[in-house]
């Protein structure tokens, strides 16, 4: 584990005014790190700061990951107010909609996939040597691929997969929702939370691409993580869901664990590495 006495890190957590992101910031507020509480709505961000007790090391950063303009503004603020460098970027912001429509698919992917991809590309130059990017995914992404065709499984898990190829997989899926061609494309239309799950499968694949592309750049590591099924607003605080604090602990593991104990590009939950494709207990 990293030492508490080390030089303070700068950590940005997106979508952190509630749920898992809030619990993660709450845990980090007890450290000597500088924590940027990323949220779309500044008022909700300030409310979150008050609920945290206004710790001096936590600062609200307005950020809508689906908006390029907002990302550019956030990057400028980091450069001018917070030293222009990050050590850890946690892509926690997400949305989910059970409605199986092309509009729902486009909205979900604009945050869950394209938003992460765009934010990482903009902020990557700010990440210090030996920094980390942590993309919050879900075991649903592994499961939905286990229920898909062998062809799709092979495409998502290609060791040479590029962002251009992954973008095409994403666009083909979104189009298939609009044309009611999901099954012909190779997905199981009965898969649970289909649109959300495919967006998370794309995040897991994107993580592997980024880890491969950026592995030689300043020792930066990229991981994906499943926080587990937590009771949060995204699932209407579903009965039986675990406390968001446990989801935050899954992310904290990747923030603090020594790099020699982790696989760059790996997918983790509760400190254990998971398979990209498969059912998960």
Give the model confidence (pLDDT) of 161-189 as tens digits: 999 999 999 999 999 999 999 999 999 99
> pTM score, two decimals?
0.94
Q: What's the confidence (pLDDT) of residue 12? A: 98
Q: Within its chain, how far is the Cα of 266 from the centroid?
A: 13
157 lies in some domain: no
173 lies in some domain: no
Q: What's the confidence (pLDDT) of residue 70? A: 98
What order do you get walking across the sheet with 34-39 strand by strand?
A: 58-62, 34-39, 10-13, 86-91, 127-136, 221-225, 267-269, 272-274
Q: What's the confidence (pLDDT) of residue 98? A: 83
Q: How many domains does the chain have?
A: 1
176 lies in some domain: no
What percent of the chain lies above the pLDDT cut of 70? 93
Q: What's the confidence (pLDDT) of residue 29? A: 96
Q: What's the confidence (pLDDT) of residue 204? A: 98
Question: Is 193 labeled as catalytic in the residue annotation?
Answer: yes
User: DSSP label at 7?
Assistant: P
Q: What is the CATH number of the domain that holds 260?
A: 3.40.50.720
Q: How far apart are CA 69 and CA 57, in angstroms?
A: 26
Greatest mean pLDDT among 176-185, 215-224, 226-235 lies in 176-185
Q: What is the mean pLDDT of residues 249-257?
A: 96
Q: How far apart are CA 75 and CA 113, in angstroms?
A: 19
Q: What is the mean pLDDT of residues 256-276?
A: 96
Q: What is the mean pLDDT of residues 212-219?
A: 89
3-state secondary structure of 35: strand
Q: Which of the following is catalytic: 113, 156, 187, 193?
A: 193
Q: Are 250 and 25 in contact (CB under 8 A)?
A: no
Q: What's the confidence (pLDDT) of residue 7? A: 82
Tell me: pLDDT of 5 over 70.
no
β partners of residue 221: 132
75 lies in some domain: yes
pLDDT band at 281 (very low <50, low <70, confident <90, very high): low
Tell me: pLDDT of 1 over 50.
no
Mean pLDDT for the chain? 93
Angle at 96 between CA 95 and CA 99, to 5 degrees: 140
Q: Give per-residue pLDDT as tens, 79-131.
A: 999 999 999 999 999 998 889 999 999 999 999 999 999 999 999 999 999 99
β partners of residue 61: 38
Q: Give per-residue pLDDT as tens, 34-54.
A: 999 999 999 999 999 999 999
Q: Are 64 and 75 in contact (CB under 8 A)?
A: no
Tell me: pLDDT of 4 over 70.
no
Domain region containing 259: 10-97+112-139+200-274
174 lies in some domain: no
Tell me: pLDDT of 242 over 80.
no
């Amino acid at each position: 584990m990293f030492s508490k006495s080390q030089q303070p890190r700068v950590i940005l957590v997106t979508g952190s005014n509630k749920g898992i992101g809030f619990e993660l910031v709450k845990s980090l507020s007890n450290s000597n790190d500088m924590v940027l509480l990323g949220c779309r709505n500044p008022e909700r961000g300030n409310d979150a700061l008050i609920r945290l007790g206004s710790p001096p090391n936590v600062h609200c950063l307005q950020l809508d990951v689906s908006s390029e303009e907002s990302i550019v503004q956030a990057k400028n603020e980091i450069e001018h107010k917070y030293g222009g460098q990050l050590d850890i970027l946690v892509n926690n912001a997400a949305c989910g909609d059970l409605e199986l429509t092309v509009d729902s698919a486009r909205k979900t992917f604009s945050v869950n996939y394209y938003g992460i991809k765009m934010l990482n590309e903009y902020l990557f130059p700010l990440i210090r040597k030996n920094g980390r990017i942590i993309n919050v995914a879900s075991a649903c992404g592994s499961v939905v691929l286990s229920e898909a065709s062998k062809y799709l499984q092979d495409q998502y898990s290609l060791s040479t997969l590029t962002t251009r190829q992954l973008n095409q997989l994403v666009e083909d899926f979104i189009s298939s929702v609009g044309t009611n061609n999901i099954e012909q494309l190779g997905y199981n239309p009965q898969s649970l939370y289909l649109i959300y799950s495919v967006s998370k499968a794309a995040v897991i694949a994107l993580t592997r691409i980024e880890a491969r592309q950026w592995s030689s750049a300043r020792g930066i590591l990229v991981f994906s993580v499943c926080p587990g099924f937590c009771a949060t607003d995204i699932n209407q605080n579903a009965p039986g869901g675990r406390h968001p604090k446990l989801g935050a602990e899954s992310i904290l593991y990747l923030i603090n664990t020594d790099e020699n104990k982790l696989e760059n590009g790996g997918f983790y939950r509760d400190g254990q590495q998971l398979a990209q494709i498969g059912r998960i207990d």
